[in-house]
Structure formats: C-alpha cells, structure tokens
Amino acid sequence: MADTSDFKRGMAIIVDGEVCQIVEFQHVKPGKGGAFVRTKLRRLRTGGTIDKTFRAGEKVEDVFIEKITYQFLYKAGTDLTLMDVESFDQVTVPSSAIGDGVQFMKEETEVMALVANGETLGYEVPQFAELAVAQTDPGERGNTVSGSATKPATLETGAVVNVPFHINEGDIVKVDTTNGQYLERVSKR
C-alpha cells in the first residue's frame, strides 16, 4: 500500500479495480479544509484517461509494472508481430492494442509491453519518431522556416502529419507519437 505522498509520474495504482498509471498529479492545500491530490490517470487496459481526486494521506494499492522490450518485426493485416529482444519469442498482437502510436512505427521500432501480475495490460511506443517524408507537395520559393503555414505530408509509415512549407520529400522529420505533431526537421535529403 502507498499513500498520496508517494505519488509520482508513471506510478501504477489500482483505482476502482482497474490498473491505472499516473500521468499528472498536483497536491492542493486550500485555505479552508483539508489538503487533497488531484490526478490524471491512464487506464492501462483501455488507454482511456480519467480525473480522480484523493484526500491527502489516503491509502491506495500500488502495482509493480514490469516493462518488457519488444521489437516490431512486421505487420500482417491488422496484426503486428513483435519479438522479445531477450528471449527472441514472437507474439502477435492486434494494432488496436498499441493505440494511435502504431501509425508511427516502422520495422525494428522498440515497443514496451506493460506487464502486471503476469498479464500484459498494454504497450507503449517511443514518444518521438524520426521518419522520412514519402510524399508532400513541393516547397515554394519564399516559404521559410519561420512561416506558420503548414501542408500535409505522408511519412514512410503511411501516417499523415502537417509540416511547414520548407519540408520536402526525403527529409527526415521528428514527430511526437502521442499527438501526431511535427516537431523539427532532423536532416535534409
């Protein structure tokens, strides 16, 4: 058992019989009344988020989450084949189990399986991906890095993101896999 003073990002606890991971938390001490902790939790099994408030010092059941590293090998239909990097065992999982980050995965991407009590609860993809731009409209003279206008670009994995006008086919771009946003150009073609 842990209490609210032990909370930290990434910690897994049981809330309403479900394993949840703490995404954000904030200790609040109002002028009147008792202190409390406001949290944002991610349900590991479904990927949904919930907001929950705990009284300061409230006891919660914590869970040890083991992270097992897998490597993405290939996609067959809607299923993905992953290989445990230590034992070389292969597993097939539906792409829906990985979530939206699956669109930014290319072969050999490392994926973390979140395992609690011998059960795989979910998967995490790296927060950032560096991918080549496979198709986009050509940039025009005068479109510079400082411009705020964007254009759609299809990446090598098939994902479509909005990029600045100065990005061209073949450029390597860095993308945030949590929200699908372009961050920066890593290299020119």
What percent of the chain stands above pLDDT 90? 46
31-45 per-position pLDDT tens digit: 888 899 999 998 888
Every domain range in the chain assigned CATH 2.30.30.30: 2-63
The CATH classification number of 128-187 equals 2.40.50.140
User: Could you please report the per-residue DSSP string of the chain?
Assistant: -EEGGG--TT-EEEETTEEEEEEEEEEE--SSS--EEEEEEEETTT--EEEEEEETT-EEEEE--EEEEEEEEEEETTEEEEEETTT--EEEEEGGGT-GGGGG--TT-EEEEEEETTEEEEEE--SEEEEEEEEEPPP-TT--TT---EEEEEETTS-EEEEETT--TT-EEEEETTTTEEEEEEE--
Every domain range in the chain assigned CATH 2.40.50.140: 66-124, 128-187
The CATH classification number of 66-124 equals 2.40.50.140
CATH 3.20.20.70 at 2-63, yes or no:
no
47-98 per-position pLDDT tens digit: 788 999 999 889 999 888 888 999 999 998 889 999 999 999 999 999 888 8
